[in-house]
């Protein structure tokens, strides 16, 4: 029981990674565009700067939503995920990353459940019409729902964050602010907390003292740098390889958003961000330093440009301490979890093995020998997947229904057979093409799609398994 819980948690971690990693390229493209072309970037350019907002508001969350949905329910799930998430995107004023990572898979799950529900009731031949319309109508509702719900949710989150931060400020102990800052940043509330709370406070303080630490409590680029450093050394696969590029965008370009995905794919890393942020702020307090204005974007260059005379050592020390602490804690977390959960691929393999184990136990329960593989999903495949295979699948499904067996039987073009299939039925003339597309699958060849002795054998095999 415990191991299965652990495997589940790991599989969930793997799921988050699988949602983020394939999209890192898009994040990096956006990061460079932003770092280069925004008004405070390296080569400000109004024309190219137009790309920044739409990319982070629409493109990146939609990619996450599509990828998350696809993990749950193939391409159809991906489409459902993107449609369902679009309501969130329009309804929220901030980039909806976490929302996309929830709504994407959730929408796909809803559609998948619906498909299961109606599957046996769809008359052969109507699948395409019903599939398109069911996805369209479910998507409509998911989109409307997420659109209406998200506005108030974000408003509440903003209020909660504001109240919490104001309470923490009253304690007078600034490092504690990181507990709110870092999660809020990763949830893309960074502009709310910086421009809504810290910068006004900072400006007041600056009027009196000529500088303020409030400009630095949430914008310190150190912790993010530490996290990315840890990933470039102890990460694996694409997250390791993309981390150095992200470092440039984050630390030199000041685009903190680029490190958020690295936290989202391993949420426990928020601890190292909090500790790094707190250590940085503590160091700033210790040296009694501040900045003269809000650093935007929060790059090391803006920091140094806004540091008043005599404060350089303290500011640099705070950034370095933040980097170091976050690096050490992140490295520790990454190393420990690496040993525990190995790679994502292993997770997936494990999950599959577990599933297989489950199926095997089921098969055993149905008093069968070990070498018999379960059959839950049979695909009929032909050239276009519309003519002969459709008739074959329809006929076989009817025969199973007569026996009271409910397993999935569907028709496809050979190359479009989904991966979960247990057995592929195809015409013997199409065997080579099928074998080429599906080298590892069990393939049953037949002479005639609607009536064939191999089909009769397959039917009795399934009957054996389920009776």
Residue from 382, 417, 421, 462 carrying the catalytic annotation: 382
Decide: 318 and 284 in contact? Cβ < 8 Å.
yes
Residue of the chain from 166, 384, 415, 418 that contacts another protein (CB under 8 A): 384
Q: Is 143 among the catalytic positions?
A: no
Nearer to another protein, 189 or 455 (CB): 455
Residue of the chain from 16, 271, 354, 386 that contacts another protein (CB under 8 A): 386
Q: What is the DSSP string of 338-350?
A: HHHH--HHHHHHH
Site string for another protein, 117-146 (x = CB under 8 A): ------xxxxxxx-----------------
Residue of the chain from 185, 388, 410, 424 that contacts another protein (CB under 8 A): 388
Q: Determine if 407 is a binding residue for another protein (CB under 8 A).
A: no
Nearer to another protein, 194 or 452 (CB): 452
Segment contacting another protein by CB under 8 A, of 139-147, 318-326, 341-349, 389-397: 389-397
CA distances from 312 to 220, 285, 295, 301, 323 (A): 14, 13, 15, 12, 16
Shortest Å distance, C-beta 450 to another protein: 4
Q: What is the DSSP string of 18-79?
A: HHHGGGHHHHHHHHHHHHHHSTTSSS--HHHHTTHHHIIIIIHHHHHHHHHHHHHHHHHHHH
Rounded Cα distance, 101 and 116, in Å: 23
Residue 464: count of CB within 10 angstroms of its CB: 13
Segment contacting another protein by CB under 8 A, of 95-103, 158-166, 221-229, 380-388: 380-388
Q: Determine if 448 is a binding residue for another protein (CB under 8 A).
A: yes
Q: In what order do the strands lie in the sheet with 423-427?
A: 408-413, 377-382, 423-427, 442-446
Q: Determine if 157 is a binding residue for another protein (CB under 8 A).
A: no
Q: Determine if 173 is a binding residue for another protein (CB under 8 A).
A: no
Beta strands of 330-440 (E only): which ranges? 377-382, 408-413, 423-427
Site string for another protein, 410-439 (x = CB under 8 A): -----------------x-xx---------
Q: Determine if 392 is a binding residue for another protein (CB under 8 A).
A: yes
- The answer to whether the Cα torsion of 367, 372, 374, 377 is positive or negative is negative
Nearer to another protein, 74 or 127 (CB): 127
Helix extents (H) in 172-310: 178-186, 190-193, 199-209, 222-234, 237-247, 260-264, 270-287, 300-305
Binding site for another protein (CB under 8 A): 123-129, 382-384, 386-388, 390-392, 394-395, 398, 427, 429-430, 447-451
- Known catalytic residues? 382
């Amino acid at each position: 029981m415990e191991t299965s819980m652990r495997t589940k948690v790991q599989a969930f971690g793997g799921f988050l990674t699988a949602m983020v990693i394939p999209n890192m390229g898009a994040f990096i493209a956006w990061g460079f565009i932003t770092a280069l072309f925004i008004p405070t970037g390296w080569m400000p350019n109004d024309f190219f700067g137009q790309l920044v907002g739409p990319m982070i508001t629409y493109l990146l969350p939609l990619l996450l939503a599509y990828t998350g949905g696809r993990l749950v329910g193939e391409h159809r799930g991906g489409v459902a995920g993107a449609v369902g998430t679009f309501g969130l995107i329009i309804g929220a004023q901030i980039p909806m990353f976490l929302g996309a990572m929830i709504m994407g898979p959730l929408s796909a799950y809803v559609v998948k459940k619906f498909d299961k529900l109606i599957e046996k009731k769809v008359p052969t031949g109507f699948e395409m019409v019903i599939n398109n319309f069911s996805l369209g109508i479910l998507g409509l509702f998911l989109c409307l729902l997420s659109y209406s719900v998200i506005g108030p949710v974000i408003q509440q989150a903003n209020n909660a964050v504001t109240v919490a931060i104001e309470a923490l400020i009253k304690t007078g102990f600034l490092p504690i602010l990181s507990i709110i800052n870092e999660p809020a940043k990763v949830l893309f509330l960074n502009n709310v907390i910086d421009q809504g709370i810290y910068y006004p406070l900072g400006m007041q303080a600056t009027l009196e003292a000529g500088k303020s630490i409030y400009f630095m409590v949430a914008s310190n680029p150190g912790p993010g740098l530490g996290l990315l450093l840890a990933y470039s050394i102890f990460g694996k696969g694409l997250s390791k390889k993309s981390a150095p590029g992200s470092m440039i965008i984050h630390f030199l370009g000041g685009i903190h958003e680029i490190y958020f995905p690295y936290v989202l794919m391993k949420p426990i890393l928020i601890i190292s961000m909090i500790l790094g942020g707190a250590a940085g702020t503590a160091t700033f307090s210790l040296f009694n330093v501040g900045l003269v204005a809000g650093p935007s974007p929060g790059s090391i260059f803006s920091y140094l440009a806004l540091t008043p005379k005599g404060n350089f050592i303290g500011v640099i020390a705070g950034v370095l301490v933040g980097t170091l602490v976050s690096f050490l804690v992140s490295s520790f977390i990454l190393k420990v979890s690496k040993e525990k959960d190995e790679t994502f691929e292993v997770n997936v393999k494990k999950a599959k093995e577990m599933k297989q184990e489950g199926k095997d136990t089921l098969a055993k329960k149905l008093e069968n020998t070990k070498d018999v593989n379960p059959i839950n999903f049979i695909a009929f495949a032909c050239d276009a997947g519309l003519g002969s295979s459709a008739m074959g699948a329809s006929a076989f499904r009817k025969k199973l229904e007569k026996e009271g067996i409910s397993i999935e039987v569907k028709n496809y073009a050979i190359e479009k057979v989904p991966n979960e299939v247990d057995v592929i039925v195809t015409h013997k003339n199409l065997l080579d093409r099928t074998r080429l597309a599906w080298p590892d699958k069990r393939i049953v060849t037949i002479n005639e799609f609607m009536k064939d002795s191999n089909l009769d054998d397959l039917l009795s095999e399934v009957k054996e398994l389920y009776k």
